[in-house]
Every structure is written in structure tokens, then in C-alpha cells.
Structure 1
Amino acid sequence: MVEAITDQNFQDVTGKGVVLTDFWATWCGPCRMQSPVVEQLADEYDGEVKFTKMDVDENPETAQGFGIMSIPTLMIKKDGEVVETLVGYHSKEQLDKILQQYTA
């Protein structure tokens, strides 16, 4: 499951463990391509990685705080620290390989 989060709960939700956040917007074509990939990985990594998504139009503070200028942007945090920031569409294989570094 991919949890929709907001500026208000971002720090609480992403502060522990390995968390992937998908920064997106409804009007963004590549974001719509990325979303099913993130959902597939959420099923496969259930319990190992938390998957979240944030609409940057509805929640601009967090995106601005991290300097996110392009979407989709995928941010991976481990125990509250940003360990990866990926801009643009990424395949399931690419993301799987990156996530394995933080779950092994």
C-alpha cells in the first residue's frame, strides 16, 4: 500500500526505517507512469519499506524545503536521513536495485 502524506505529517511518517516518497502531481504524465511501478514495489516490499506519495500542488512546503523542482521525484530516507533522490521516471528494476541497498 502507498500512503498519501501531507506537509503536516511528512516528518512523522518518514522518520523511521526505509521510506520511499513519490513526489507527484495529477497533471504530470511521467508521474502517472511512475505510480503503478511504486505500487508494485510497495506490494513486494511490504513490511520492509514504507511507500508514501505526496501531491506537490497540495503540499508545496515539503517539496520546496527539499528543493524539488521536477517531478516525479522519488526520495528514499533511512531512519530520517535522505539517502537517495531520484528525478524522473525510473523502472521497477532500477528502483528494486536501489532499494536492495537499504534493505539488505
Structure 2
Amino acid sequence: MSNVSKVTAATFEAEVLGAELPVLVDFYADWCGPCRGMEPALKDVAREYAGEARVVKVDVEADPELQTRYGVQGLPTLLMFNGGDVVDRITGAAPRSALAAVIEKVLDEKK
């Protein structure tokens, strides 16, 4: 997936918690239809905000400890991290405009 990388429990701290840019994390599973349906929107916002924010994915089947740590109960769930902290959450499939709004909110606060 262009511009949307996968992170694991082993790389989460460095790539999300320690990231200089805000990071939108998509918690998903391969079997989740709504998760697959959101991929075009995720790729689109990843391209649009390249250099300002990152978009990454966490496979909850491969890394259930991250799902538990962040209280992810439904899929897809998207968490917006800034400075290592969760600053926003979207549960359920969301349109591209909602993803962009979450990123814009963080970018506006950084100005």
C-alpha cells in the first residue's frame, strides 16, 4: 500500500509513539469488510498529508496486544496520535472527509 505502512508491536513505539509527525493508526483485520472498504480513503489522506502526518495500519490478528492496550473493541478503529498520545478516535468505517478532519485538527493545533 503506497504511503500507508504496517506497524507491529515491535515497531509501534518507534514508528508511532516516537514519531515527530502526527500519526493516524488504522486498527484493522483482513477479514473486516469495512476495513477493506476504507483503504482507498486511507491511501488518499496518506498521499495528501505526506510530510505533515503519517498513516499506518495495525493488524489486530497479528498484534492483539496493541488492540488491548488501546481499548480497540470494534473494527475499523482509527486512533490519532500526536507526541505519543492518543488525541482522537474514530470507531467504524468513516469517509475520507472524517479522516482528513482528524488530521487537520491536529495540524491546526500545532500551528
* Band of TM-score, shorter chain: over 0.9
Residue 64 of structure 1: how far off its partner (Å): 0.8
Between structures 1 and 2, the one with greater helix share:
2
Residue 36 of structure 1: how far off its partner (Å): 1.3
Residue 62 of structure 1: how far off its partner (Å): 0.6
Match of 1:11 among 10, 13, 20: 13
Q: 1:25-63 deviations in whole A, cap 9, x for unaligned? A: 010000001111111100000000011001100111111
3-state DSSP class of the match of 2:38?
Answer: helix
RMSD of aligned residue pairs (Cα, Å) = 0.9
Q: Is the CA contact (8 Å cut-off) linking 2:28 and 2:57 kept in structure 1?
A: yes
Match of 1:55 in 2: 59
Counterparts of 1:17-96 in structure 2, within 5 Å, are 17-96=21-100
Q: Which amino acid aligns with 1:29?
A: G
Q: Which amino acid aligns with 1:6?
A: T
TM-score normalised by length of structure 1: 0.95
Q: Is the CA contact (8 Å cut-off) linking 2:80 and 2:102 kept in structure 1?
A: no
Q: Which amino acid aligns with 2:50?
A: D
TM-score normalised by length of structure 2: 0.90
Q: Which amino acid aligns with 1:77?
A: F
Structure 1's consecutive aligned runs of 4 or more residues displaced over 2 angstroms after TM superposition are none
Match of 1:100 in 2: 104
- Supply the distance in 2 between the matched residues of 1:66 and 1:102 (Cα, whole angstroms): 19
Structure 1 gaps, min length 5: none
